[in-house]
Copies of this chain bind each other. A is one copy, B any other.
Amino acid sequence: MARDTRDRILEASLALFNARGELNVSTNHIADDLEISPGNLYYHFRNKDDIIEQLFARFELRMDKALTAPAERLPTLEDIWLQLHLVYECIWDYRFIYRDLVDISSRNRKLRMHFSRILKRASEGAIEVMRGLATSGIFRANAEEIRATATNILVIATFWLNFSAVRGEHDERESINQGIYQVMLLIAPFLRDTERAQLTHLAAAYLR
A165 on interface, CB distance cutoff 8 Å? yes
The reply to whether B152 and A163 contact each other, CB–CB distance below 8 Å, is no
Select one of B119, B152, B156, B166 contacting A166, CB under 8 A.
B119
Q: Mark A154-175, 1 if CB is under 8 A from B, else 0.
A: 1110111011011110000000
Query: Top 9 nearest A-B pairs by Cβ distance?
Result: A148-B185, A159-B159, A189-B189, A155-B163, A105-B166, A102-B162, A155-B156, A189-B190, A116-B168
Q: Copy number of this protein in the oligomer?
A: 2
The docked-state distance in angstroms from the alpha carbon of A154 to that of B148 is 16
- Determine the chain B residues whose CB is within 8 A of the CB of A182 once the complex forms: 148, 151-152, 155
Determine the main DSSP class of A at the interface with B.
helix
A contact residues, range: 35 or more
A149 on interface, CB distance cutoff 8 Å? yes
The reply to whether A141 and B102 contact each other, CB–CB distance below 8 Å, is no
A112 on interface, CB distance cutoff 8 Å? yes
Interface positions of A from 72 to 104, Cβ below 8 Å from B: 99-103
Interface residues of A (CB under 8 A from B): 99-103, 105-106, 112-113, 115-116, 119, 141, 144-145, 148-149, 151-152, 154-156, 158-160, 162-163, 165-168, 181-182, 185-186, 188-190, 200, 204
Select one of B103, B151, B163, B166 contacting A112, CB under 8 A.
B166
- Determine the chain B residues whose CB is within 8 A of the CB of A113 once the complex forms: 168
